[in-house]
Amino acid sequence: MTTSRHDPASDPSAHVQLRPDLGTLPAYVPGKSWPGALKLASNETSPGPLPSVVGAIAAAAQGVNRYPDNGSIAVREALAERLGVAAEQVAVGCGSVSLCQQLVLATCSPGDEVLFAWRSFEAYPLVTLVAGAVPVRVPLGPGQVHDLDAMLAAITERTRLVMVCNPNNPTGTAVGRRELERFLDAVPSTVLVVLDEAYIEYLRAEDFGAGDLPDGVALGRGRANLLVLRTFSKAYGLAGLRIGYAVGSPEVIATVSKVYIPFSVNSLAQAAALASLDVEAELLERTDAVVAERGRVRDALLAAGYTVPETHANFVWLDLGANAAEFSTRCAEAGVLVRPFAGEGVRVTIGDAYENDQFLAFALSDVATGLARQ
């Protein structure tokens, strides 16, 4: 057989045709490994799963020759009962991050806009671009808090989705119920608002005015254009198993479910989520220790001269400007991994008292406070 010069099958230099717009997306870069370092970089819970949850995972492992329940029926029914909604109002996803991507796919045609604050959760621009939509970033207001009026003003006829991360990752700041309500009343009812409540379990009523504690599920009653995202990855301690959920109107939930990757919430994750709901009280009690520690850590940082916004989550944000990357590298050399955002700041997860002390030992050192002051 003769092959012509123009037969692409025989041209070793020919490239596969890929989506050109993905060329500008950053490729995944594995983090540098620091053997033995404490990990305060990903907002995980420090204690491992409770024994009953480990038992449920082990029992479910016996059945992994079978496909998982594609509808995650048992988990959705258990969540619906707890939240006082119908099971048709709950969707389960492979982490709430995959629900974020499903939401963009379910609402946006190419060129439609997804609006969110910046800085906020790093996944928002990525899932937006992957779905062929256009990210629109609205700067956070004073004190690194969501500027909801500016977000309202940024809504156009191309806006399909508005993401509000409350408390906000990575700054830890939160807006109260009344402000959210005012915002939701003003957003056109044709635009879907997603309230990402990955850290809601770390909110405390005493940090808000009377009746001002935000709760997306309560706010969503009677509002078909509000959808709430929550996760088992943070307070429930199942980050490694990948399971999160959405609560919204039956119509939105049904459409979001159409772009679900079949069977992507595995059977171990479903079993672990159910077992975690059974011991919910004990898991939520563990957040009290984190809340106490975050106050202690923030106070120590403020006293040392750092700028740290009031945090309502299981992490603190240190405003370090140009020194963020160096702070993070020095901290890793001192044995503690934190999450840098080059040119802006670092996010530090609140761990247990020992872990936090290790971090503070570095943060209060002359090297570190020098970087904070520059």
Ligand X SMILES: *Cc1c(COP(=O)(O)O)cnc(C)c1O
Q: Which of residues 26-55 bind ligand X (CB under 6 A)?
A: 43
Question: Under a CB-based contact definition with an 8 Å cutoff, are residues 162 and 194 in contact?
Answer: yes
Residue 169, interface with ligand X (CB under 6 A)?
A: yes
182 preceded by a cis bond (ω within 30 of 0): no
Q: Which of residues 222-241 bind ligand X (CB under 6 A)?
A: 231, 233-234, 239
Other CB atoms closer than 10 Å to residue 179's CB: what's the count? Answer: 17
Residue 196, interface with ligand X (CB under 6 A)?
A: yes
Residue 260, interface with ligand X (CB under 6 A)?
A: no
Residue 96, interface with ligand X (CB under 6 A)?
A: yes
How far is residue 34 from each of residues 39, 200, 331, 353, 358, measured CA to CA in Å? Answer: 9, 31, 11, 21, 15
Residue 309, interface with ligand X (CB under 6 A)?
A: no
Residue 201, interface with ligand X (CB under 6 A)?
A: no
Position closest to ligand X via CB: 95
Residue 121, interface with ligand X (CB under 6 A)?
A: yes
Q: Which of 133, 165, 363, 368 binds ligand X (CB under 6 A)?
A: 165
Q: State the distance between the two ends of the chain, measured CA to CA, in whole angstroms.
A: 70
Dist CA 91 CA 246 (whole Å): 5
Dist CA 107 CA 94 (whole Å): 19
For ligand X, give the closer residue by CB, 196 or 310: 196
For ligand X, give the closer residue by CB, 323 or 349: 349
How far is residue 196 from each of residues 2, 9, 216, measured CA to CA in Å? Answer: 59, 47, 9
Report CA Rg, the chain: 22
Q: Which of 41, 57, 97, 290 binds ligand X (CB under 6 A)?
A: 97
Residue 349, interface with ligand X (CB under 6 A)?
A: no
Minimal distance in Å, beta carbon 315 to ligand X? Answer: 9
Residue 314, interface with ligand X (CB under 6 A)?
A: no
Dist CA 101 CA 203 (whole Å): 26
Q: Is 36 left (phi over 0), alpha (psi -120 to 50) or beta?
A: left
Residue 244, interface with ligand X (CB under 6 A)?
A: yes
Residue 128, interface with ligand X (CB under 6 A)?
A: no
Minimal distance in Å, beta carbon 370 to ligand X? Answer: 30
Positions touching ligand X (CB under 6 A) are 43, 95-97, 121, 165, 169, 196, 198, 231, 233-234, 239, 244
